Amino acid sequence: MTSDQPTNETPCCQQQQRRTFLARLSIALSAVIGVIIALPGIGFVLAPVFRKPKQKWRKVGKLEDFKVGGFVLVQYEDSSSVPWAGITAKEGAWIRRASETEFIAFSINCRHLGCPVRWVDDPRLFMCPCHGGVYYEDGTVAAGPPPEPLQRLNVRINNGQVEIESGPTPLTLTKIT
């Protein structure tokens, strides 16, 4: 070997090796920082897939506030709401006191595409303003595009308060074509 040949110990090779090492180190550090930044976002997106939907009983009024007869609209908080959800945490239901001890409640959301349905006392039907969906007072479909009856909600009387079991809003079964 002649002394003109560059070896690993010559200054030019050492500089080259240092540059390669620093380039790899900077790529590795960038990757680590990228993962640290992305993790909360990935967790936020994937968490609902793994989280079990919460069911909670929500007070909707005193027992004596409900007269036996037609449906009244009540509002309550979504069981899965987060502190920053604001107005989007509100859910609605149509509730009817069928007898002294029996209540019937339906989710306000139409089973077609989720618009809020409206109770009309005469002719005792739920009407959907979006595409003309109509439901009978037992929640079954009378006319229009809804593929399913209105979602029935559990109701209980607890210490003189009427409570609705709040759960996730049902997904529509309508196939979008």
Span from 32-40, 70-78, 119-127, 141-149 in contact with ligand FES (CB under 6 A): 141-149
Q: How far lies 59's CA from each of 87, 97, 118, 174, in Å?
A: 17, 15, 21, 31
> Strands, E, within 117-176: which ranges?
118-120, 125-127, 134-136, 141-143, 152-153, 155-158, 161-166
Q: Does 110 bind ligand FES (CB under 6 A)?
A: yes
In the complex with ligand FES, which residue's Cβ is closer, 107 or 163? 107
Which residues pair with residue 157 across a beta bridge?
162
For residue 171, the surrounding DSSP H or E stretch is none
In the complex with ligand FES, which residue's Cβ is closer, 103 or 106? 106
Q: Does 92 bind ligand FES (CB under 6 A)?
A: no
In the complex with ligand FES, which residue's Cβ is closer, 92 or 144? 144
Amino acid sitting at position 175 = K
Q: Does 60 bind ligand FES (CB under 6 A)?
A: no
Binding stretches for ligand FES (CB under 6 A): 110, 112-113, 115, 128, 130-131, 133, 144-146
